[in-house]
Amino acid sequence: MPEPENSIVMTDDQKRRQRRRNIAIGVALAALVVIFYAVTIVKIGGQIANRSF
């Protein structure tokens, strides 16, 4: 399919930079998941199964 007029055609360098930024965002999001998991475990603490409701 031909490129529509006025669309952005990225150079190889721009594609490379975009890919690196995407990887960095992915790593940051993965780190956030790990952080929230770890903080949750620490905040809940031990003996979670023995808590009364």
Partner 1 sequence: MSLASDHITPTPVAQPSAGEVRDFVTLLKPRVMSLVIFTALVGLVRAPDAIHPVLAGVALLSIAIGAGASGALNMWWDADIDAIMTRTRGRPIPAGRVTPGEALAFGLVLSVGSVIVLGLTANLLAAGLLAFTIFFYAVVYSMWLKRWTVQNIVIGGAAGAFPPMIGWAAVTGHVSLESILLFLIIFFWTPPHFWALALLKSDDYARAGVPMLPVVSGPDETRRQILIYSIILAPLGVAPWLFGMTGLGYGLASIGLSAVFLLLAVRVWRERTGEAAKTAARQLFAFSILYLFALFAVLLVEAMMAGWI
Residues whose CB is less than 8 angstroms from the CB of residue 9 and which lie 6 or more positions away in sequence, other chains included: 3
At 28, list the tokens.
């940051």
In the shown chain, the binding pattern of residues 32 to 51 toward partner 1, with x for contact by CB under 8 A and - for none, equals ---x--xx--xx--------
Is 29 one of the binding residues for partner 1 (CB under 8 A)? Answer: no
Nearer to partner 1, 43 or 51 (CB): 43
At 32, list the tokens.
């956030």
Using CB under 8 A, which of 1, 2, 6, 53 touches partner 1? 6
- Judged by CB under 8 A, the chain residues 8 through 27 that form the site for partner 1 are 8, 10, 14, 17-18, 20-21, 23-24
Identity (one letter) of the amino acid at 41? Answer: I
Give the whole-angstrom CA distance, residue 51 versus residue 5.
Answer: 64
